[in-house]
A = this chain, B = another copy of it.
Amino acid sequence: MYSERTLCLKSSAIREILKITSKPGMISFAGGLPCAALFPLEEIAASIHNVLSKFRSSALQYSVTEGIPGLREKIAGIIDPDGTRIGQQNILITHGSQQGLDLISKLFIDAGTPVLTENPTYLGALQPFRFFQAKIESIRCDDRGLCIDSLKDKMRHIRPSLMYLMPNFQNPTGSTLSSERRIELVEIVQDQNFFVIEDDPYGDLAFDGAKHPSLLRLGGTHNFIYLSTFSKTIAPGFRVAFVAASEEIIGKLAVIKQGTDLQTNTFGQYVIREYLESGNYFNHVNRIREAYKNRRDRMISAIKKHFPGQVTWNCPSGGMFLWIKLPEWAEAEELLPRCLDRGVAFVPGREFFPDGSGKNTMRLNFSCASPADIDEGIKRIGEALK
């Protein structure tokens, strides 16, 4: 009755945990929500007001599949300020980066197509890859991101069509691919000539304001497909994100998008364009960086105070997530119910590992809970750990 690809369809574990975390009194480090109190609400309200008065019904009508013109141009300018590599013809507006992943999966993945990912990697990427029946092959990672040796090893046996990675402040680990490895990776990709999806939702949230060059800018559109979003920097509720790639790929993705949902919501695109044109964007992003940096520091202080000595953690230089390693013998999935009983939630790490390892790891989100809740929540996890 149902299609073959839906036979192994299941809701993600995170989704199930998130259902529990909506209970009153629960402190959640489980989700991946940006902090709603930091949304530039008044500035967005002003942008909405301008859109309605300047563009009236046009902002409520159908528009073209690729995205409204000024917005594509503006985005090209943000990700490639020199304007040497990326123009508006290289941009497709999508309903969240999640849609970028769906469209790219449709374009590249047949049953059995080998797709390389980091180990661990973003669960929301594994969903469409698995749905289209890709064969996931995962590459070892450390605190400087993807291990190039592990990639070279893997490539002795596998000729990949597609690779997926998140080079900046990765979800789930918060780690960042080092500059040296970026250069090595670009060389391998160009030499072997396959496609890389560079997923970069958190790139603008570098706590020191510094940015590594994107793989897209280093390696060009012949091999690299870049995804980003305004969900983490402006607000997620408009679902405005984008793919940057070669004109050929953008053209194909646009035809696929046409049959998928016709176009990204017009009104949200007008609002985001207006907001970008208001000139408030970069100041606002600086405010978020500052606030998230403080929350990361707060969480690490609390961890130092409350977690037992055998537990280790990293100090991500941006983004929204912190990565915890329990002792080898421990299981984060066994810890979770004891934490939920104490009114605090996190995501056990194992689901993020395509190879099924990582049972002693956990992901903590630090962007969403208030500083006071961060202290209290970490204290409760500390109690459960003892």
Contact = CB atoms under 8 A, between A and B. Distances in A.
Interface of A: 1-6, 9-12, 15, 33-34, 36-37, 39, 41, 44-45, 48, 52, 56-63, 65, 94-96, 98-99, 101-102, 106-110, 113, 124, 127-128, 131-132, 161, 231, 235-239, 252, 255-256, 258-268, 271
A116 to B, nearest CB: 15
Nearest to A131: B259
A237 B113 CA distance: 36
Contact of A57 (B36, B62, B107): B36
Nearest 6 CB-CB pairings of A with B: A127-B259, A237-B266, A60-B235, A60-B237, A36-B57, A239-B265
A96 B62 CA distance: 11
Contacts of A99: 260-261
A95 B95 contact: yes
A3 B255 contact: no
Contacts of A12: 258
A263 B237 CA distance: 9
B48 A60 contact: no
A61 B65 CA distance: 24
Nearest to A266: B237
B2 A252 contact: yes
B252 A239 contact: no
A35 to B, nearest CB: 9
Contacts of A255: 9-11
Task: Please indicate which of the listed interface residues A4, A255, A261, A264 has the most CB atoms of chain B within 10 Å of its own CB.
Answer: A261
A261 B113 CA distance: 22
